[in-house]
């Protein structure tokens, strides 16, 4: 039995459908992420799990028990709020002690657990500080400690890292992974930040307009997006409109208007005649002199129109014969040794027949 299960959950606000018939199961010990743009319904789902909102139809079950009649304060799960929601009139230790008091834990036991939890988030020296005296990262850790101190079955995290700067964010990501692994508590994490979702999660549900577009492991989501939305939302990708001409063994023959035919791996059950898009990541594209990569089946000539140097890699925007632009990535493994191209250079781009995929939706 899954730890948490959503069965056909829908939530409407007036005529707006925030969550539309969503079903998912989350297993004990999982780091599960709801990923999507703002307004996709991910926060609504989190608030329904916490009990601050209720589904119009459908059920939310914890250990097989319907939660509908359980108010938020009686659910064995806690939330780390986006604004942290630390109580400003209570010290750090008092904030962390709050859920233990509510659960009527004995005073001596409370003191011990608060001390341990403070140690776990390395804030022992801040026990008597007031929340406003702490930095953003420290407040974040107090919010985590407060939600974890009485060992909830499930921890809900609502964009908890959104307010932190880049460096601190990466550090907190590491700490979250460590905490989750050490405590074994199930995390349900909400974010709109896709690199974060990829880095942290065991499984990701990509959401859009109230639907789950794809639910998979991070690597599958990245390598095999199910449709245009997921492909576009996760990472950078080239999307070229095309028609499926034929299936040949384990390969597809695709026709791209103005570019002719290309070969792609056969991941789908789509039948010849179907239109769709050919999706391929910039790092799968090989860029070289017009003479290079003649051995690859998919190869086109083009001109470099823009380039974006970002230290570790350089992204080239190449204009192909039919006016289409595609992006190709070149890793700067040995800066200076690897061949560079300038804007206006004639180049060739090529990719193997097993790279990229055909999206029929």
Q: Using CB under 8 A as the criterion, which residues of the chain lie in contact with other proteins when the complex forms?
A: 50-52, 71-74, 78-79, 81-83, 85-89, 98-99, 102-103, 130, 132, 146-147, 150
CB of 54 to other proteins, least distance (A): 11
Residue with smaller CB distance to other proteins, 103 or 331 = 103
CB of 36 to other proteins, least distance (A): 21
CB of 122 to other proteins, least distance (A): 22
Residue with smaller CB distance to other proteins, 73 or 295 = 73
Dihedral angle sign, alpha carbons of residues 226, 269, 251, 264? negative
- Tell me, what DSSP letter sits at residue 229? H
Residue with smaller CB distance to other proteins, 79 or 348 = 79
Please return the burial class of 265, using the count of CB atoms within 10 Å of its CB with bins 0-12, 13-18 and 19+.
middle
CB of 78 to other proteins, least distance (A): 6
Residue with smaller CB distance to other proteins, 78 or 126 = 78
CB of 89 to other proteins, least distance (A): 5
Residue with smaller CB distance to other proteins, 139 or 214 = 139
Residue with smaller CB distance to other proteins, 45 or 50 = 50
CB of 148 to other proteins, least distance (A): 11
Strands (E), 209-259: 211-216, 238-248, 251-256
Nearest-angstrom CA–CA distance, 188 and 336: 45
Q: Locate 138 and state its tokens.
A: 């420290």
**Coil/strand/helix, residue 20:** strand
Taking alpha carbons only, the member of 91, 151, 90 closest to residue 120 is 151
In whole angstroms, how far apart are CA 56 and each of 12, 21, 207?
7, 10, 19
Taking alpha carbons only, the member of 92, 120, 97 closest to residue 109 is 97
- 87 Cβ contact partners less than 8 Å away, ≥ 6 residues apart: 94, 95, 98, 131
């Amino acid at each position: 039995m899954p730890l948490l299960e959503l069965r056909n959950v829908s939530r409407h606000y007036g005529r707006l459908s925030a969550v539309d018939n969503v079903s998912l199961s989350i297993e004990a010990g999982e780091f599960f992420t709801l990923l999507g743009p703002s307004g996709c319904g991910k926060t609504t789902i989190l608030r329904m799990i916490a009990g601050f909102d209720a589904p119009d139809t459908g059920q939310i079950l914890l250990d097989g028990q319907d939660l509908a009649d359980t108010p938020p304060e009686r659910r064995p799960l806690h939330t780390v709020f986006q604004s942290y929601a630390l109580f400003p009139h209570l010290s750090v230790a008092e904030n962390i002690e709050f859920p233990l008091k509510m659960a009527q834990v004995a005073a001596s036991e409370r003191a011990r657990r608060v001390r341990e939890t403070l140690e776990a988030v390395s804030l022992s020296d801040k026990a008597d500080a007031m929340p406003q005296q702490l930095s953003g990262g420290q407040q974040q850790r107090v919010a985590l400690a407060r939600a974890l101190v009485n060992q909830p079955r499930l921890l809900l995290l609502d964009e908890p890292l959104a307010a932190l700067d880049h460096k601190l964010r990466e550090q907190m990501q590491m700490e979250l992974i460590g905490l989750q692994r050490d405590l074994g508590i199930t995390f349900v994490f909400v974010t709109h930040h896709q690199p974060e979702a990829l880095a942290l999660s065991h499984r990701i549900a990509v959401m859009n307009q109230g639907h789950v577009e794809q639910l998979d492991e991070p690597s599958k989501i990245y390598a095999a997006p199910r449709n245009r939305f997921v492909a576009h939302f996760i990472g950078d990708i080239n999307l070229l409109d095309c028609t499926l001409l034929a299936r040949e063994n384990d390969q597809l023959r695709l026709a791209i208007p103005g570019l002719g035919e290309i070969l792609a791996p056969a991941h789908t059950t789509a039948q010849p005649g179907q239109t769709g898009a050919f999706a391929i990541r910039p790092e799968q594209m090989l860029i070289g002199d017009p003479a290079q990569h003649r051995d690859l089946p998919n190869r086109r000539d083009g001109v470099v129109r823009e380039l974006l140097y970002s230290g570790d890699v350089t992204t080239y925007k190449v204009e192909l014969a039919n006016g289409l632009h595609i992006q190709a990535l070149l890793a700067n493994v040995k800066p200076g040794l690897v061949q560079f191209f300038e804007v206006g250079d004639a180049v060739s781009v090529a990719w193997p027949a097993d790279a990229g995929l055909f999206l029929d939706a």
